[in-house]
Structure 1
Amino acid sequence: MGFTHIDQYGQATMADVTGKAVSVREAKAEGMIRMSESAYLMLVDQKCKKGDVLATARIAGIQGAKKCAELIPLCHPLALTKVAVDFELLSQSNQVRVTSLCKLQGQTGVEMEALTAVTIALLTLFDMCKAEDPLMEIHSIRVLTKSGGKSGQWERG
């Protein structure tokens, strides 16, 4: 089996998806950020000097998904029809769980866009809270589900 991103001369190339069927494709991803109690309370109480942390991170995550092809070499630029970024505040562990949903009707999947949305949102949370806690930890970034295309539905067990 040949590589999809290397041509016959060993050069990097974008995979040709021209012959793939158009279908509704969707992916969900998640990631976590752990922070000190003081940083977590600052975020929850909206006392961050940089402004509304969650609103800013949501917008950044959506923008990140839209710019995925500019960030990841050989990634196809996609006409996303839906990008959602959401947050779950986990007070027991001073963590924020970030989730994303990316959707389109096209010839290639949106897993990379969903992962990029989560990652950029997490990086924005870090940036906006780092004055309070420079030791925050971003972790557990992963795809949760994907659907559409030849391989159909997939869900993390």
Structure 2
Amino acid sequence: MSTLTHFNRAGEARMVDVGAKPESERLALAEGRIRMQPETLRQIQQGGHAKGDVLGIARIAAIMGAKRTAELVPLCHPLALTKVDCEFEILDETATGSEPAVICRVTVATQARTGVEMEALCAVQIGLLTIYDMCKAVDRGMSIDGVRLLEKRGGRSGHWVREA
């Protein structure tokens, strides 16, 4: 098993030195979901929400979240992102067998010395939090879960895909 890289020998937090690493194409794909009441999902789908296009605004928020990750995660390197793509999948109660949900999937890419996993994970969280914020007036019981990395490419560790 690998060691934790964000600590020095004395156990103090540090930003990892990536200066000697070669730049390479990096990509990460992450996802998460927000569960909600059927009526909340209907309002999102029909575009009848008082605050506007919930998924459109959440998409922009996810992109902004990816771009601002280094400001939110203390030891994360600031990166020049080359791609941020956010998709939403709607699962109604017939698809889930219980509470409907919206799945948020974000792909982030860059050409850099370190990966973009944190940017993809942060983007998913911000996108889902935006849905919560926009819909909380009608459904405070929404829950966010299942946030996880699905795939990463590039760098020394190569290609990794989550097992199904």
* The two structures share one fold, judged by TM-score above 0.5: yes
Q: Distance in 1 between matches of 2:160 and 2:6?
A: 23
Q: Distance in 2 between matches of 1:125 and 1:6?
A: 35
Change (3 A) 1:132 1:2: closer
After superposition, residues 35-114 of structure 1 pair within 5 angstroms as 35-91=36-92, 92=94, 93=96, 94-114=100-120
Structure 1 residues not aligned, in runs of 5+:
none
Identity %: 51
Q: TM-score, normalised by structure 2?
A: 0.92
Q: Distance in 1 between matches of 2:91 and 2:10?
A: 50
1:125 corresponds to 2:125: no
Aligned to 1:153: 159
Post-superposition offset of 1:2: 6.5
Q: Distance in 2 between matches of 1:3 and 1:27?
A: 20
Q: TM-score, normalised by structure 1?
A: 0.96
Post-superposition offset of 1:7: 3.0
Q: Distance in 2 between matches of 1:144 and 1:25?
A: 14
Structure 2 residues not aligned, in runs of 5+:
none
Q: Distance in 2 between matches of 1:121 and 1:38?
A: 20
Helix, strand or coil: the match of 1:85?
strand
Q: Deviations over 1:103-128 (max 9, x none)?
A: 00110000000000100000000001
Aligned length: 157
The CA RMSD measured in Å over matched residues stands at 1.3
Post-superposition offset of 1:8: 4.4
